[in-house]
Amino acid sequence: MLKHFLIVLLLFVVLDVSSQIPVGEWRDHLPYVHGRRVATSDSKIYCATGEAIFSFNKLDNSIEKLSKANVLTDIGVSAISYSSDYSTLIIGYTNGNLDLIDSKNNIQNIADIKRKQISASKTINNIYCSGKYAYLSMGFGIVVLDIERREIYDTYYIGEAGTYKYIYELDSDGEYFYAATESGIYKADLNSPNLANYVYWNRITNIPNYNKAFNALTVVDDEVWFNFNSLSVIDTLYYMDDNGWYYADTADCIGLSSGNGVAMSATWWKVTRFTDEGKDVVSYSNSRPEDALYDSNGDLWIADMNNGLIRWTPQREAYYYVPNGPFSDEVTDMDIQGGRLFVAAGARDQTWNNSWNTSEVNIFENETWSYARNFASDIVDVVSVVVNPEDPNQVFAGSWNGGLLEFSGSELKTVYRSDNSTLRSLDADVHYKIGSLAFDEDNNLWVTNSGVSNPVSVRMSDGSWETLEIGDEFNNGLIGDIIITPDNNKWLMLPRGGGIFVFNENGTFDNYDDDQYKVMSVKDEYNELITNDIYSLAVDKEGYVWVGTNQGVVVYYNPENVFSGENFYASHIIVDMDGTAQYLLETEVITDIVVDGSNKKWFATENAGVFLMSEDGTEQILNFNIENSPLLSNTVNSIAIDGDSGEVFFGTDKGVISYKGIATEGKDGYKDVYVYPNPIRPGYTGKITVTNLVTNSSVKITDISGNLVYETKAEGGQAVWDGNNFDGRRVRSGIYLVFCTNEDGSKTHVAKFMLIN
């Protein structure tokens, strides 16, 4: 039968996007295209993507994201199931955490399993709901959740003598439980006096490979379907009834489900429905199904790793549903200019060798994600990205194998290698280790080319190329970050204990006699070694160089003296921690440093989340980690700040999430000043923001009669107000005026807005 594939442009009501999100709010930027699990209520279809969940409302065609940024308590969704009896979506995570969400999106977290010390996998592999209980298939047994009481009811350890047994999936025919395990199919009578006693669970032995791993199971009427998970050859699907077992199919099975009286097998590239008439294959464009179920209308809903959520109708038409997002959760580096965020989605391992990720560059612009991928096979591990500050449409990305990529927007324009640049491969094959990238004040692009002689090249603003000879002791080594200071010195991070390399070509690329360069260790004012393990570099608005190490942060206050050595050393920042003086973040690895519009510093760490510190680093303003915020992971690889909006993007090892910060880059004048939200409507309790100010403006807010209700200093180009007066009380409804003055008083501006209580 001819299959028709319809890609539908729906007028989705996407509930969480707004370019002017309030200061202090979070939003996720996760990939929703990789559907893994599906569940249904009367009106909604839920699709789990691994990182989060989204729902499709069949009544109004709206899509809603459910993530750690708005509803969920965790990341790493491994199983979902819907209890119709209690109108509750049950969500299981890879770390054993549980969320229960009712029809009004009220959530209750149950972290008992997550907190428990267990010497086995805590991943919730599957959830089976029956009446008031949900049965969780775990790496150690079966956990019984009381849905009504919102608590763990019991745990079944069904291995020999009550030991752990890895459970892939559990189902029931109303008389028996059937469990697919690492060593066979186990069966137990529902009316057994104590299902927590392993003796009531018996392995079924009259089936092929009865003592081997079965990774999927479902019950259809009086038939039990189960998949033999072969590690050496292709899987085999069987089913059994009261008369014995039967062969059904041979294919690597990802998941089994049932509905409308048929069993369904999700395998690579297709869903197979097993009917009385035989196999019925559901296949569609770029298919990679993981899970499937029927709804009450007879539509088949498929969670697909390449397409998100798919509705397959009885007329054999395919409809695709997926919220906008990046293609993957991989993040190594990010850069933003002109409101366009670019994310390098490659990786290196801890020894700085290739991870061989087939990577892409993800792009966020005008509230929409797109991506450039499907490059040549040798372009892998895109580990760096930089936007031309004079032309935000021109973007360069470094591949840790394939060369330097130039994009025009999202379109790959040129790949630079030895045939069209001064870049060099490690050998005769394609092995170009292009790492950090930076533009100088003349709009020349500096490119690090690790592992070769002359490992720094420059793409000049006119498109020509130059290379530099910078000392034999530095050739053939690894290079990390590169920054360029106001005096045109280039600071390069040397990974794996190499310290820092600084050089200056003095603006001449054909005269090496006037070059200066220096390989140095990070030492204090007493010439004592602090560390040589450098992870990040940044230059702030005062010209100071901040260095992220394996022992926190140090700063060079006189970086211009790097070659003379006079009064040149690394200084620790001393902070007060509960009355004890400590060095700033001395126990943390600092993976990235970014300076915001008010010269405050954001520090990304390997294990402790992110920190926002004052201009001099002595005062902690914010610390976000997985326990106190929606941050996706404590391992943060990169930070990027939208200087126009103040939105701060955190690139973690589990994806991108953003926080609306206060500070923006200041403007030269006041012509674009505005207040948002405006008007402030009844019930709004968030921050009121005055934006597009001159740097560090004085801001005074008065009522229409001129009574002062608030004053502050802008953080860079933005100021915020909570709507309360000096006594902490909410001001009255009315028109309010904002008086703005720059630091020397030469520029002024008045804005106005309406507040309604």
Query: Does residue 461 sit in the same domain as residue 570?
Result: yes
Query: Does residue 549 sit in the same domain as residue 430?
Result: yes
Query: Does residue 359 sit in the same domain as residue 394?
Result: yes
Task: Report if residue 52 sits inside a domain.
Answer: no
CA angle centred on 477, ends 475 and 482, rounded to 5°: 95
Reported as a single tens digit per residue, the pLDDT across 339-349 is 999 999 999 98
Task: Report if residue 649 sits inside a domain.
Answer: yes
Q: How many domains are there within the chain? A: 2
Query: Does residue 734 sit in the same domain as residue 634?
Result: no
pLDDT for 472: 65
pLDDT for 25: 96
pLDDT for 18: 37
pLDDT for 474: 67
pLDDT for 285: 82
Q: Is the peptide bond before 679 cis (omega within 30 degrees of 0)?
A: yes
% of the chain with per-residue pLDDT over 90: 86
Q: 627, 660, 693 — which closes off a domain?
A: 660
Query: Does residue 683 sit in the same domain as residue 639?
Result: no
Task: Report if residue 547 sits inside a domain.
Answer: yes
Residues of the chain with pLDDT under 50: 1-18
Task: State the average pLDDT for the chain.
Answer: 94
Tokens 């996998």, residue? 121
pLDDT for 475: 65
User: What are residue 491's DSSP bridge partners?
Assistant: 483, 502
Pair 116, 140: CB distance under 8 Å = no
Q: 633, 660, 687 — which closes off a domain?
A: 660
Query: Does residue 656 sit in the same domain as residue 681?
Result: no
Reported as a single tens digit per residue, the pLDDT across 198-251 is 999 999 999 999 999 999 999 999 999 999 998 888 999 999 999 999 999 998
393 by Cβ neighbours in 10 Å (0-12 / 13-18 / 19+) ranks as: middle
Task: Report if residue 106 sits inside a domain.
Answer: no
Task: Report if residue 288 sits inside a domain.
Answer: no
CA atoms within 13 A on the CB side of 275: 8
Task: Report if residue 561 sits inside a domain.
Answer: yes
pLDDT for 10: 32
Domain that holds residue 681: 674-755
The C-alpha atoms of residue 599 and residue 614 are separated, in whole angstroms, by: 8
Query: Does residue 523 sit in the same domain as residue 617?
Result: yes
Task: Report if residue 353 sits inside a domain.
Answer: yes
Reported as a single tens digit per residue, the pLDDT across 424-435 is 999 888 899 999
For residue 590, the domain's CATH number is: 2.130.10.10
Q: Is the peptide bond before 389 cis (omega within 30 degrees of 0)?
A: no
Query: Does residue 648 sit in the same domain as residue 731?
Result: no
Structure-block tokens of residue 695:
């740097």
Query: Does residue 632 sit in the same domain as residue 679?
Result: no
For residue 721, the domain's CATH number is: 2.60.40.1930
Query: Does residue 607 sit in the same domain as residue 731?
Result: no
Pair 90, 81: CB distance under 8 Å = yes
List, edge to edge, every strand of the sheet that includes 698-703: 708-713, 698-703, 734-741, 748-755
Task: Report if residue 140 sits inside a domain.
Answer: no
Query: Does residue 572 sit in the same domain as residue 678?
Result: no
The C-alpha atoms of residue 595 and residue 548 are separated, in whole angstroms, by: 13
Query: Does residue 555 sit in the same domain as residue 433?
Result: yes
| 3-class secondary-structure state, position 198 | helix
Q: 601, 633, 660 — which closes off a domain?
A: 660
